[in-house]
Amino acid sequence: MYVLIQWAVRTFAAGLCVGLMLLPRAAGAQSKPGEACYSGTCYPSLQQAEAVLQSDPQWNGKYQRSRTITSDASPVVTIEYTVPPQPPAKFYALVYSIQYATPCSAWSDSCLGEQAVIDEFMAGLRSAYSGCELRDGRWSNSFAEPFYYLWQRGSGTIGDVGGISFGDPTAPKRYEVNINCPQWGDPTYYQYQSWTLDKTQWFECPAGSTVISGYGPGHVPDGVSPDMQRPWPYFCFVSASRGLTYWPPRAASALGPCDGSCKVMAGD
């Protein structure tokens, strides 16, 4: 009976010890390989600490490791986490604009499509030059893909507001035509005219982020840093960052005399 009681006590103590090892504890002396400490609490593994770090209510699950800081004086490393650029929380409707076409609000979700705007423009052009001859009419150039430039405009109902321009100013999409009107008195004279079709779109970034100005891929002008290139649709910069400390588990190796207070570590 005595032996049975001793066995039960040892079993309970061992189970309690293992259970305590798996619980987080207040950060103090980070003295165990494999431990990671975040926001004042240490956890038995890096994965557990990262799970807590990623539970940020605003950027839940979006943190990525961005930098690891090491020191020759300690086996403990510091890992920094940041949130990469995010897509907008809301895109508004594309806005096409050109003379003679009905203007549309930048914040509307019911603007006319490209062809409808072109049809309005052509009808308005024929009305404006009624009785004149329009010859050799043609559209030249195309909109930049995926876009040409984006910029910060201000604040909106959700967050920072930005605009996207799809027109390349060096080669804008435009309608070109040669016009002769009887009142000009010279039937051989044709006046060249052109009208530019603009395409823009507004967007709002998630709260807590800001618009990153820049150029679309392949459209960074000569003399401008390539770092100004922005991939679609990651237009919103997040400044939030987090950090934790971690003692990577390593195999022990005899590195020389040790008085018992040193941490003997070897390579990964």
Provide the pLDDT for residue 30.
Answer: 56
Residues in the chain, pLDDT under 70:
1-31, 251-268
Provide the pLDDT for residue 31.
Answer: 56
**If residue 196 lies in a helix (H) or strand (E), which one and from where to where?**
strand 191-196
Provide the pLDDT for residue 26.
Answer: 55
Q: Which two tokens stand for residue 184?
A: 């000009």
Q: For 176-230, how does the pLDDT look when each residue is reduced to its tens digit (9 = 90+)? A: 999 999 999 999 999 999 999 999 999 999 999 999 999 999 999 999 999 999 9
pTM: 0.75
Asked if 168 and 219 count as a contact pair (C-beta separation under 8 A), the reply is yes
Provide the pLDDT for residue 126.
Answer: 96
Cα(264)–Cα(268) distance, integer angstroms: 13
Cα(24)–Cα(256) distance, integer angstroms: 33
**What ranges do the domains of the chain cover?**
23-85+241-246, 90-234
Asked if 216 and 144 count as a contact pair (C-beta separation under 8 A), the reply is yes
Asked if 245 and 30 count as a contact pair (C-beta separation under 8 A), the reply is yes
